[in-house]
Structures are given as structure tokens and as C-alpha cells.
A and B are shown apart, each in its own frame.
Chain A
Amino acid sequence: MDYDYLIKLLCVGDSGVGKTSFLYKYTDGVFHTQFISTVGIDFREKTVIYQQNARQHRIHLQLWDTAGQERFRSLTTAFYRDAMGFLLLFDLTNEASFLEVRNWIEQLKTHSLSDDPDIVLCGHKCDLQEKRLVNQNRAREFAKNYNLLYLETSAKTGQNIDRAIEILLDKIMYRMETSVEYAMLCASGRRRQSLQRLQAKQDRKLCSC
């Protein structure tokens, strides 16, 4: 497949918060009412066009779907290493899954490549208003404290599903712009060569100083 960047995103959060449906909705545009639990790891893929400074990039998204059960966490953290961004989901109708978010952040910081990984926090299942147990302000406040972007999403209505991934992409693309090394991670062959040249040039500049 032809693309400019390959970006790997990881979806984490407690069991049953709706990670698989979130990703299905994003890639296939459908909401399934019948679920099968994710044991281990699963994948979705999608290629998108990303507009950056009047330039278009074809971005191939690799979406990793992880098992949420804590006992599986020790098995899935190995996959965090080369993820470039994280979707951290909790269930707005399940307070415990919200309380877990802090631990998930710790996990991501510990096991991801960067000490300050790009994370978008999603309060999921926002269509279930009457069952909601996590107040929006409370979640917002929390996200602010941890310097995360916060969105309320629903795989059923599709609310903010695309938006969440776009926001995450914005963060990642910004990071790539500011760090050639980071960009190298994601670039496809052709792009990688040009980036390598760019870096070589930068290196030479440094040497001449």
C-alpha cells in the first residue's frame, strides 16, 4: 500500500469500556451490538489523508486493540513500546473504569517509548446519558491535571470518534515536525530516505559549528 507515514496507535482502557467497538466504528463505520472479548491483541487498519501546512500526507493508521483485563496488562505492555500515540478509554457509565485511568497513564508512561506519550482521553459510551456516572466537569478537570486532551465519545452514535483520532494525529504530526528522529520511526521507505538525508544535513551543520 502506498502511504507517506505509518502510524501505530494503541487503544487501552479497562475491560468492557468499548475499545473494540470504538475502533470498529472508526475503521468500518459500523456499531456492533454483539461483542466478543479481546484476548491478547487485535488490529484494525485505515488509511487517511492528513492535511498539514497545505500539504497532504497519506497516513496509514495501525490501530492496536488490547485486552483490558489487568491480568493481561503485563502481557500487553510489551506492545506499548513502538506505539506513537494512545487512545485511553474509560466508560462514562462505569466510575471504576474512570478511576483506573490514572493507573493506565502510569502504565503508558512506564512502557511507551516516550516519557510523555501523546494520549487522548475518551469518556466513552456518552450516548447512555441516563446511565452516566462520571460528570463531564470532573473528567475535564482530571484531564487538565494530567495535561491530556479529553473528549466524550460514542461508538453507537459515532460522536467524536473521528475527532478523537484526528486530535491524536495532530499531536503526533506536530511531534514529528519538531523531531526528525521521531518522524523516522513512522515514515515509509521513500520518505525515510529523504528524512535520512535531512538528518545528515543537520548533522553536518552541527559539525561545522
Chain B
Amino acid sequence: MKIDRGVFPWKSNSSTKSQESNPSSTWRLFSSKSNGNLAKSLTTEVQNSLSPTSSAANTPHHHKRQGSSASEKQFDDLVASSIALIQHDRPSNLPAKCTEEALRHKAEHARMVEAARRRVEREAAARHARLQESIRMEERLARHAREWTQTILPDWHNMKNAKRTLELWWSGLPPAIRGRVWQLAIENKLKITHEMYQDYVAKAKQKLQEAQLRRKRLKIHAKNSCECKNEEPNKEDQKVEDRLSSGEFTKCEERSSKRMEKISKMDDRVEEKTEKQRLGLPRNFSEQNLKTMDVDPGPKKCCSKSNPNLLDYSDECSMELIQLDISRTFPHLCIFQPGGPYFDVLHELLAAYVCYRPDIGYIQGMSFIAAVLILNMEAPQAFVCFANLLDGPVLRAAFTRDGATMQRLWKAYSRLLRRQLPALADALAPELYLLEWLYTAFAKAMPLDAACRVWDVFLRDGDTFLFNAALGILHLYQDELKDMDFISAAQFLTKLPEDLDPEALFKSISSVSMTLDGMSFEELVSCCPLDNSLDDDNLRL
């Protein structure tokens, strides 16, 4: 319809010779010259209705002859003027068209206009359908939200396993009640109170302050001492500390244990071999776990002796790595960056966790998990959920780097994958995508909406669902993945398309069977034999 009207000015003005003699005149110029208000009012409308792609239909014939393959950019420039210049007759300075040609052009033009009109109609219909769909979605969510708040939540204990509840849950929690349902689903087996959270936050803050003071002192101290190439242990330590003070980009939690190694090395360089072996073998060995370190023979003994404040130091290091990572968490949202509304919240939560579980400390990936929780609930609740979530079987294994359990999970997953999607199992090592998926519970790889949908069911069904979702994603994209080399595939999977449709994903997830030869995933995990020979080379899982 718009097109018909848009073409109208051309018809009414086609005889205006002034236009014809000036083919470079623009639409604006034209419309300003035109006498009627109509043309003016139509200007914008025409421009709106003529998207670059549809403009081909409205290109005047002399452009058409140049080839309809002219670039869209060109069209953009031409669209405005061309509509005004479409004409049945050639300009007066050129020989007139023969009747046959004029008729043919007229017919061609009519065809093009018709095609454009149909296209616009199709697009409008699609837009309308999308709008209707989103309205339906909104309505459905509102209906569901009512059902959740009125019937399910008040009677949670009886309702939580009802068929209807599980169905509603699967179809996605309405954002309004998502946080509440997540909290109920995660439960609080660790019995963490909000007061405990505040205590941990206070403790963390105090530690940070102490550290800052210490650093300031050391900085002054270090300034007085000259730089020296031969690093004695003390000096080196000092430099580390000094360095920590001045860099925002200090990552250090790793440094704590490394520093000990360094010291031990200097104390006893012959021990280097031992250290090398140990480094290769930290699978179920949490470097932050000081108890383990103390009982471990060799160089570590002396370092724990020489560093009575080690725990503080490592905490402090965790804190700094957290700071570095927060700004690298969902950077596109611009809310976790310094100065953003959630920077402090996320920092406090993670720092509090380091105080709560110094044996685990901070591990990359945690910031994403905590961020998703913070986006859905208040900080204290988010902390309770975070701590309990990380205590689940899969995430606990991942974050404590329990090699044996991870190996079992990996094997079970690989077996399922080989059965379900044999082509992919051969083409792509799970390490390349599954590590990231697990350590961030899909929060980093997926668009946030879809990730929250996955979390809904992950919190409903437990950690095993992470593997179910993983297989579901591969299943959904198996055609795309088939044609990719492994690098593209890994890149694709760790940054899934923005338009990932949660409905399609969930359909795919439910189509994937999580049983193999009559065994559930849990059974597969528990019956997977451990391959001891692989102990040396880390994640072969």
C-alpha cells in the first residue's frame, strides 16, 4: 500500500521537464520543488518503505540497464532520486522510445512494483506474527507467574514435585519469580545465614584493608631498596608484594603457592625435580589446601614455616584476581565493571566466598555463576545460593578439581556423546567446550536469556542436567557443526549464536537420551573405571 502511494508522486510529476533535465537531483530537492503537500508528506513514508533491497524494483530503467547487481550502497544513494525519475518517456534530449519498448518497460515496472508490494506485505505479516508471538509469550509468562505465586509457591513443599509444577518449570520460569524459585530449588543444606554472609563480607573487607596497609608499607620500603638482578628470596617476596600494591591487573592467587615454591626452590634448589613432579599432579590436590601442603613432604614444609601468614596472603591474592575478573564478567552488560551498579556486589560476594571456603578460594568461572545469581536476587540470597550450588556434585568436583570425579563424569559424558552423536564425538574433543560450559554453567557461552532457561532446569534437576544440556546443544547444532573444523566448532560452541531459540534448545535437550544400555548418567558415572595411568597428564578425564 505504501508503495502504491510512494509511486504516486512519480506519476503525477513524470511530465515535469525540469526534473528530467537534471537527473542528479535528489528526492529532497524534488519534493521541495513539487507543489503539493502530498509529495512532502510522502517523502518520509516513501523513504521508509523503500529498504535498500526492495529498491531494485523501483530503480529507473537506465539504472536497471546498468545491472540490477549494483551495490546496495549505490541504491541507498539512488533510491531517493530514482523514484522521482521513473518515467515512461526518455528525456527530451534523447530519441523517444518506440511504443513496444515503452510498453515493455511499463510492464516491467508494474511487475517490480508488484513484487515490492508483496515483499512489504510479507514483511509486515512476519512482523505482525512476531509481535503476536511476543504478546502471547508475555501473556503466557504473566499467567504462569500468577500460577506460581498463587498456587505453587504458597504450598511449595507439596507442590514442588507436582506434574504441573514440573511442566511449568520446564517451560521457563517467569523472570518475576525466577529468583525465588531458584532459592527454593537450591535449598540451603549448608545452613548459611545472612548474618554469616555479612560477617564474611566484613572479614573480607578487613583483609583487603590490612593488605592495602601492608602494601603501602612495603612500597615505601621497596622504594628505598634498589633494584637488584640477583633476587634473594626476601627481596623477591618484597617485590611481589610491592607489585601487588600498584597493579590493578595483578593476578595473584596462584602466586601464593608459587611464591612458596619459589622460596622453597631458593632454599633448596636440589628439590626442583620434586616440585616439577608435583606440579604435574595437582589433580585432586587443591593448591590452596594448606593442610595438604603441610603434610606433603619436601620443600613445602619449609615454606609454610617461612610464611606463617600464608593463608592471609593467598586470600589477599584471591581478592585481587577477583577484582580483575569482575570487570571481565559479562562486559557487554556494563554493570559489573568498576563504577557499575553490581561491581561491588559481585566483588563482595566472591570475596566472602574466599573467606568462607579458603580451601577452594576463587577460581575463574565463579564470577559468571555468581553474576547470574546476582542478576536474579539480592546479594545475601545470592551468596547462600552460590555456596550451596558450588557444593553440588559436579560443580564441587570442578571447583575443587577433584580429578577422579571429573574423569568419571567426562567418561560417562563421552560414552553418551559417542552413542548419541558419533560424528561429533570423533571430530571434537569435549575439553574444548565442556570445560568452559561447566565452569560457568553455560553463563558465558549462551545468551543470557537462554542461559537462565537452562539454569531453571539445572536447578530443578540437579547437576546432571548440565551434561544433558551440553548434549542438547550439540544435538541442536549438529548440522552446523558437521561442516566445521574443530577450531571453528569450538569457537562456535563457546560463543553460541545470539538468536539461540530456547524453545528449540529445550526440544533438542528432551530429545537426547541420558541413558545408555539401561543405565542412567549417575550409574554410568559411578561405574566408569578410573584410568590411573592418566594421572600424570592432567585432564584427560
Report Cα–Cα, A192/B191, bound state, in Å.
62
Measured between C-beta atoms, what is the minimum distance from A80 to chain B in Å? 9
* Chain A residues within 8 Å of B258, by CB: 70, 99-100, 103
Q: A67-B364, A75-B538, A133-B243 are in contact. Are A15 and B331 (CB under 8 A)?
A: no
Report Cα–Cα, A36/B432, bound state, in Å.
17
Q: Indicate if A85 sits at the interface (CB-CB under 8 A).
A: no
Q: Indicate if A191 sits at the interface (CB-CB under 8 A).
A: no
A 17-72 contacts with B by CB, 8 A: 17, 34-37, 39-43, 45, 62, 67-72
Q: A37-B328, A68-B251, A74-B282 are in contact. Are A133 and B440 (CB under 8 A)?
A: no
Interface stretch, picked from A106-114, A147-155, A170-178, A179-187, is A106-114
The answer to whether A71 touches B538 (Cβ under 8 A) is: no
Q: Indicate if B242 sits at the interface (CB-CB under 8 A).
A: yes
| Interface hub of B229, B236, B247, B280 (most chain A Cβ within 10 A) | B247
Q: Indicate if A96 sits at the interface (CB-CB under 8 A).
A: yes
The answer to whether A95 touches B279 (Cβ under 8 A) is: no
Proximity string of chain B (466-483) to chain A, C-beta cutoff 8 Å, 1 when within and 0 when not: 000000000000000000
* Chain A residues within 8 Å of B490, by CB: 41-43
* Chain A residues within 8 Å of B325, by CB: 15, 37
Measured between C-beta atoms, what is the minimum distance from A167 to chain B in Å? 23
The answer to whether B538 touches A39 (Cβ under 8 A) is: no
The answer to whether B239 touches A40 (Cβ under 8 A) is: no
Measured between C-beta atoms, what is the minimum distance from A64 to chain B in Å? 9
Q: Indicate if B439 sits at the interface (CB-CB under 8 A).
A: yes
The answer to whether A107 touches B279 (Cβ under 8 A) is: yes
Q: Indicate if A206 sits at the interface (CB-CB under 8 A).
A: no
Q: A42-B491, A95-B243 are in contact. Are A75 and B254 (CB under 8 A)?
A: no
* Chain B residues within 8 Å of A93, by CB: 246-247, 249
Measured between C-beta atoms, what is the minimum distance from A109 to chain B in Å? 8
Q: Indicate if B81 sits at the interface (CB-CB under 8 A).
A: no
The answer to whether A74 touches B431 (Cβ under 8 A) is: no
The answer to whether B247 touches A74 (Cβ under 8 A) is: no
The answer to whether B251 touches A16 (Cβ under 8 A) is: yes
Contact partner of B328 (CB less than 8 A), chosen from A35, A41, A99, is A35
Report Cα–Cα, A102/B494, bound state, in Å.
31
Q: A69-B251, A74-B539 are in contact. Are A39 and B487 (CB under 8 A)?
A: no
* Chain B residues within 8 Å of A14, by CB: 251, 254
* Chain B residues within 8 Å of A197, by CB: none
For the residues of B in contact with A, the DSSP-based class is helix
* Chain B residues within 8 Å of A102, by CB: 262
Report Cα–Cα, A35/B280, bound state, in Å.
30
* Chain B residues within 8 Å of A41, by CB: 431-432, 435-436, 490
Q: Indicate if B365 sits at the interface (CB-CB under 8 A).
A: yes
Contact partner of A72 (CB less than 8 A), chosen from B279, B364, B487, is B364
Q: A91-B249, A135-B227 are in contact. Are A15 and B537 (CB under 8 A)?
A: no
Contact partner of B321 (CB less than 8 A), chosen from A15, A95, A131, is A15
Q: Indicate if B215 sits at the interface (CB-CB under 8 A).
A: no
The answer to whether B537 touches A97 (Cβ under 8 A) is: no
Report Cα–Cα, A24/B254, bound state, in Å.
25
Q: Indicate if B82 sits at the interface (CB-CB under 8 A).
A: no
* Chain B residues within 8 Å of A96, by CB: 240, 243-244, 250-252, 255
Report Cα–Cα, A63/B487, bound state, in Å.
10
| Interface hub of A67, A68, A70, A111 (most chain B Cβ within 10 A) | A70
Contact partner of B537 (CB less than 8 A), chosen from A62, A71, A111, is A111
Report Cα–Cα, A68/B365, bound state, in Å.
12
Give the residue name and chain of the B residue nearest to A37 (CB). B328
Measured between C-beta atoms, what is the minimum distance from B272 to chain A in Å? 8
The answer to whether A39 touches B440 (Cβ under 8 A) is: yes
Q: A34-B331, A35-B328, A96-B244 are in contact. Are A15 and B254 (CB under 8 A)?
A: yes
Give the residue name and chain of the B residue nearest to A95 (CB). B243
The answer to whether A39 touches B365 (Cβ under 8 A) is: yes
Report Cα–Cα, A101/B248, bound state, in Å.
19
* Chain B residues within 8 Å of A16, by CB: 249-251, 321, 324
Contact partner of B236 (CB less than 8 A), chosen from A70, A81, A99, is A99
* Chain A residues within 8 Å of B491, by CB: 42-43
Measured between C-beta atoms, what is the minimum distance from B514 to chain A in Å? 23
Measured between C-beta atoms, what is the minimum distance from B409 to chain A in Å? 13
The answer to whether B435 touches A45 (Cβ under 8 A) is: no
| Interface hub of B249, B261, B328, B433 (most chain A Cβ within 10 A) | B249
Measured between C-beta atoms, what is the minimum distance from B186 to chain A in Å? 22
Q: Indicate if A94 sits at the interface (CB-CB under 8 A).
A: yes
* Chain B residues within 8 Å of A67, by CB: 364
Measured between C-beta atoms, what is the minimum distance from B449 to chain A in Å? 18
Proximity string of chain B (203-223) to chain A, C-beta cutoff 8 Å, 1 when within and 0 when not: 000000000000000000000
The answer to whether A110 touches B364 (Cβ under 8 A) is: no
Q: Indicate if B283 sits at the interface (CB-CB under 8 A).
A: yes
Q: A37-B329, A42-B494 are in contact. Are A71 and B439 (CB under 8 A)?
A: no
Report Cα–Cα, A195/B251, bound state, in Å.
45
B 87-105 contacts with A by CB, 8 A: none
The answer to whether B329 touches A95 (Cβ under 8 A) is: no
Give the residue name and chain of the A residue nearest to B283 (CB). A74
Report Cα–Cα, A14/B320, bound state, in Å.
13
The answer to whether A69 touches B240 (Cβ under 8 A) is: no
Q: A62-B487, A111-B280, A135-B227 are in contact. Are A94 and B243 (CB under 8 A)?
A: yes
| Interface hub of A36, A39, A95, A137 (most chain B Cβ within 10 A) | A39
* Chain B residues within 8 Å of A106, by CB: 275-276, 279
Give the residue name and chain of the A residue nearest to B288 (CB). A71
The answer to whether A39 touches B251 (Cβ under 8 A) is: no
Q: Indicate if B315 sits at the interface (CB-CB under 8 A).
A: no
Measured between C-beta atoms, what is the minimum distance from B342 to chain A in Å? 16
Measured between C-beta atoms, what is the minimum distance from A66 to chain B in Å? 11
Contact partner of B367 (CB less than 8 A), chosen from A37, A75, A100, A111, is A37
The answer to whether A74 touches B487 (Cβ under 8 A) is: no
Measured between C-beta atoms, what is the minimum distance from A59 to chain B in Å? 15
The answer to whether A45 touches B367 (Cβ under 8 A) is: no
Report Cα–Cα, A34/B340, bound state, in Å.
14
Q: Indicate if A138 sits at the interface (CB-CB under 8 A).
A: yes
Give the residue name and chain of the A residue nearest to B326 (CB). A37
Proximity string of chain A (103-136) to chain B, C-beta cutoff 8 Å, 1 when within and 0 when not: 1001100110000000000000000000101010
Q: A15-B251, A67-B364, A74-B283 are in contact. Are A35 and B331 (CB under 8 A)?
A: yes
* Chain A residues within 8 Å of B432, by CB: 40-41
Besides A95-B242, A106-B276, 4 more A-B contacts (Cβ < 8 Å) are A42-B490, A71-B364, A93-B246, A103-B262
User: Would you give 16 A-B contacts (Cβ < 8 Å), ordered by A?
Assistant: A15-B324, A39-B439, A40-B431, A40-B435, A40-B439, A69-B251, A74-B282, A74-B539, A78-B540, A93-B249, A95-B243, A99-B239, A99-B262, A111-B280, A131-B247, A137-B229
Cβ-closest 3 pairs across A and B: A70-B254, A95-B243, A40-B435
